[in-house]
Amino acid sequence: MGSTSSRRQAAARDRDSEGRARSARPRDGLGRPLPYGADGVARQPEGVVRTPQETVVQAQELLDAGKPFHAHEVFEDAWKTGPQEERALWRGLAQLAVGLTHSARGNVTGGARLLRRGAGAVEGWAFGGGVPRPYGMDLAGLAAWARELADVVEDGGEPVDARERAPRLRGRA
């Protein structure tokens, strides 16, 4: 009977108020699930509405801290809550952060693929939207960073250091 009760408690924790699945397991710095009860890295709250400038600043802080999974969640909020015409930009940035996440986890194929997909998205948005540096971001530089890292990941076949390989959203100072 104790195990049935435990399963019900876990199921209750893993659903939001509308019954949608939400993993309540703690996560490490790269977003990998840890066992229930383990100490993990605090998750980013979902659905936070930020200004684009706040999004860029918060995401950069997370990237600099070696937490690209968490930066992806910040970009995802902007993608889901921002203006329709900017969603492709924020989705592309989220793909770059997830590509770095997978690359740091050692997923060579997935990391390289997402880095290249994100590179195409942000580069396409910059030139298609006529704004090469929206919110001060260096989209051409980000696309070049992502493609270069994708090559490094494929050539090395080893996990990369997310903090060491973090991009500069606004370019190098």
Of 115 and 37, which is predicted with more confidence? 115
Of 36 and 119, which is predicted with more confidence? 119
Backbone angles phi, psi at 49, to 5 degrees: -95, 120
Domain ranges of the chain: 1-43, 52-156
Domain 52-156 CATH class label: mainly alpha
How is the chain split among helix, strand and coil, in percent rounded to 5? 60, 5, 35
Q: pLDDT digit string (tens) for 24-81?
A: 788 887 888 888 888 888 777 777 889 999 999 999 999 999 999 999 999 999 999 9
Question: What's the sign of the alpha-carbon dihedral 49, 16, 102, 65?
Answer: positive
> Two tokens at 13?
């924790």
In one-letter notation, the amino acid at residue 92 is G
For the packed helices 87-105 and 108-129, what is the interaxial angle rounded to 10 degrees?
Answer: 160
For the packed helices 87-105 and 139-156, what is the interaxial angle rounded to 10 degrees?
Answer: 30
Q: How far are the Cα atoms of 35, 61, 111 from residue 96, in angstroms, in the given order?
A: 27, 15, 9
pTM beyond 0.75: the answer is: yes
